[in-house]
Amino acid sequence: MSEPEQNQETLRRSILNRYGSLADGHDIGGCGESGHPSDRPAPGLPRHEAGTGCCAAGYTDSELASLPEGSNLGLGCGNPSQLAALRPGEVVLDLGSGAGVDCFLAASRVGPSGRVIGVDMTPEMVSRARDLARSSGRSNVEFRLGEIEHLPVADASVDVVLSNCVINLVPDKGQVYREAFRALRPGGRLVVADVLATRPIPDELRNDPERWASCSSGALTPDEVTERLRSAGFETIEVTVHGEGPTPDSLQAQAEIGVVSGEVRATKPGGSSQ
């Protein structure tokens, strides 16, 4: 089974409560006992200076130093703006933008001639990100309240869709990919950092709203991700599983059920992504 059988409103409330609390500054942890793959920084360091774990995976010191203070809550598992090789002038859409860390990095890459749109369903996250954009003078980035299954953007209006450890939280991942496909221009690209399942996840974990909301039991296998992307219309699909080597403490809860970090790339046909 790939989708939860539990009451969807229960799952939604669990996710909203968890990430609303994080946006308000409450450290409630994440996946399993130790937290989300990246919400535990190195001992003795504040979140935005964390140098180990997924929080820093792919982020350079200069990127972390460039961020508005308070935008990096350490909730991602990669650096999708770098993976996407963003170019000046592109329009970028971030699914589940949180406090804006990847949006701010993307905004720097696309420059003043480009634009970045962050979408998140948690009002507290959107409010925090908007305040940070305003106080830091980032005029080429905006944040919209909405569900990534029903994106508040026009058809064929963006060049790149990014997401960082969020799609695993959505029960109907196929709908997310269909919406991403709709929003992309022909030739547009999808680049996602997320957790992936290396083996089937037991039903009792799939149906645990806390485990699901903490980015553990909602992960799909690479084959399942590929099937959903292909059904949505994408081509040139690449799903890469990471997680080789010793498992950090913050990832123990996921590793126990075969969930590791990974990357997903795909292209909308009908144009050039160059």
Burial class (CB in 10 A: 0-12, 13-18, 19+), 11: buried
Provide the pLDDT for residue 2.
Answer: 43
Angle between helices 123-136 and 101-110 (to 10 degrees): 40
Provide the pLDDT for residue 250.
Answer: 56
The CATH-assigned architecture of domain 8-267 is: 3-Layer(aba) Sandwich (3.40)
Which residue has 């090789």 as its token pair?
A: 85
Report the C-alpha gap between 123 and 126 in whole angstroms: 5
Q: Residue-wise pLDDT tens for the chain (274 aa)?
A: 444 444 677 677 667 667 667 766 655 444 333 333 333 332 222 233 333 333 345 788 888 888 888 787 777 788 999 899 999 999 999 999 998 999 999 999 999 999 999 999 989 999 999 999 999 999 999 999 999 999 999 999 999 999 999 999 999 999 999 999 999 999 999 999 999 999 999 888 888 888 888 788 889 999 999 999 999 999 999 999 986 555 555 566 777 888 988 999 999 999 754 4
How does DSSP classify residue 8? H
Backbone conformation region of residue 233, classed left if phi is above 0, alpha if psi is from -120 to 50, else beta: left
Q: Which residues contact 214 (CB under 8 A, 6 or more apart)?
A: 18, 29, 30, 31, 32, 35, 36, 253
Contact call for residues 205 and 182 (beta carbons, < 8 A): no
Give the global pTM: 0.83
Rg (Cα) of the chain, in Å, rounded?
A: 17
Contact call for residues 95 and 181 (beta carbons, < 8 A): no
**Structural domain boundaries in the chain:** 8-267
Provide the pLDDT for residue 211.
Answer: 82
Provide the pLDDT for residue 245.
Answer: 55
Provide the pLDDT for residue 129.
Answer: 94
